[in-house]
Structure 1
């Protein structure tokens, strides 16, 4: 960094302040550094975008009084390049329709005056899958979640139709864990693994009133091993779409 500073004409004191995060850095500063380092193309665009937005509050911090745990979860989703969700009892949040989410939250005891806001937040969070640089999602869904009628037949048919539709995207992989295969590596509990460009992976385990993030390398490795086993135990993508479509048709007949 000091060599770069010399080429930019920065004092040693300024270089030290920037290196130790004691002084902010502007977009023009970043542009000059990238020019010295000969960084071009998409990497340059990404870093300049980060410099522009570094002082701006994230959307979930604007005028909202969200629980700290939810804020941390949303932050992980926004930064992740790959998300792997193991779901046992319900469709993962990033794949839920509004009607399905409403049923889940109402039955879970969400106060009526908070319900619409939390449903909207969950819908906005799904934007990580459709933005310009979308995260990749792999969802392992236990067949139990398809059997459980959340709401009426219409709600379930719409939900499963949505999952089948989303599964056609290049960045989304849906794998069903069939009941007929018995036990599988995910039965110990629902969890989500987040992978990032630079940071090491973390695991999120959701509880009734709070969740826990796990980032210890050895602990995360246990979940990574479970995911490898699940890939061997789950139905393939085409077979999973067939299973989802069969349940969709069943619920449509009940609607």
Structure 2
């Protein structure tokens, strides 16, 4: 049975953080800000921590009073308009923990995702056959079709109606020691090559000869929201997706230092695919 956390959903928390940062940049106290927007200071404090209810109209009024740029205003009003996530998530929300629901919601809002995978291909970079195989061997057992439907919707989602950009990094051992059927790995490598050729995304590989590096602790994603200069980091464990209280951007940059270039990575992916076809 899903576990419901008694905490603000991640959209409300993220929205509150943005409003707090804007207020602090303006060097306004709670009382000063409340006076400017014509609201109670206690209500504003609850909103900034993600526990206070706020409508999209109220968000717009606050940002207008703060003199926020139009682009930032539009992004935050849009964030306030979708507290429950994209429509396709509704079919799965009853079986998901509240935190997982919220993480998928915030993922759906990100137009640029940096995703790192070690031991397995990252969720958003998986082809359908690889994903199905992974779900078939998942412990504890899951409904494969249900999980696949959710993943495919996550992959196909277009934040703001625009195609998402993926920045993928793979640990090279993931390709060398995949343990999967050759035909499925062939499809997966082809998918990665197509992804790297879509005009938006990049796929890079850490060569197996690298040795110890910053990514050995596990797979993770960093979601970017350029219009509001914000990032959210999540980790992927054997039990699924989870939130992390720290920004993993510095770890990502360290991993980047040991990756092959996109062109070199493409050559390596093609070589692995050729080996599978021998």
User: TM-score normalised by the shorter chain: which range applies?
Assistant: 0.7 to 0.9
How many angstroms apart in 2 are the aligned matches of 1:195 and 1:56?
20
CA RMSD of aligned residues (A): 3.5
Q: Are 2:83 and 1:58 aligned? A: no
Aligned mates of 1:24, 1:131 — CA distance in 2: 21
Q: Which moved more, 1:166-175 or 1:205-214?
A: 205-214
User: Secondary structure in 2 aligned to 1:89?
Assistant: coil
Rg larger in 1 or in 2?
A: 1
**Equivalent in the alignment of 2:201:** 172
Distance of 2:174 and 2:274 partners within structure 1: 16
SS of residue matched to 1:104? helix
Contact kept, 8 Å, 2:132 with 2:148, in 1: the verdict is yes
For the pair 1:68 / 2:98, whether they are aligned, the reply is: yes
CA distance in 1, matches of 2:159, 2:124: 11
* Per-residue CA distance 1:114-154 (angstroms, 9 max, x = gap): 11010111111112468633443222101111123454222
1:235 is matched with 260
| Structure 2: runs of 5 or more not aligned | 1-32
Q: Give the match for residue 26 of structure 2.
A: none
Q: Distance in 2 between matches of 1:206 and 1:134?
A: 23
Q: After superposition, what is the alpha-carbon deviation per residue over 1:201-244, rounded to whole angstroms, capped at 9, x for unaligned?
A: 3332223225542224xxx3xx4333222222110001111111
Structure 2 vs 1, CA of residues 127 and 235 (structure 1 numbering), >3 Å: closer, same or farther?
A: same
Cα distance in 2 for partners of 1:35, 1:190 equals 40
1:17-96 equivalent positions in 2, closer than 5 A: 25=55, 46=75, 49-50=78-79, 53-54=81-82, 58-59=86-87, 60-62=89-91, 64=93, 65-96=95-126
The 8 Å contact of residues 69 and 210 in structure 1, kept in 2 or not, is answered as no
2:250 corresponds in structure 1 to 225
Aligned residues: 237
1:190–1:206 Cα contact (<8 Å) kept: yes
Separation (CA, whole Å) in 2 of partners of 1:204 and 1:154: 31
2-side partners of 1:214 and 1:70: how far apart? 12
Q: Does structure 1 conserve the Cα–Cα contact (< 8 Å) formed by 2:84 and 2:105?
A: no
Q: Distance in 2 between matches of 1:38 and 1:69?
A: 33
Q: 1:46 to 1:200 in 2, by over 3 A?
A: closer
2:170 to 135, 141, 147: 141
Unaligned 5+ segments in structure 1 are 6-11
| Residue aligned with 1:201, SS | strand
**How far is the alpha carbon of 1:57 from its aligned partner?**
5.4
TM-score of the superposition, structure 2-length normalised?
A: 0.68
CA displacement 1:141-184 (0-9 Å, x = unmatched) = 01111123454222111111111111123432211011123332
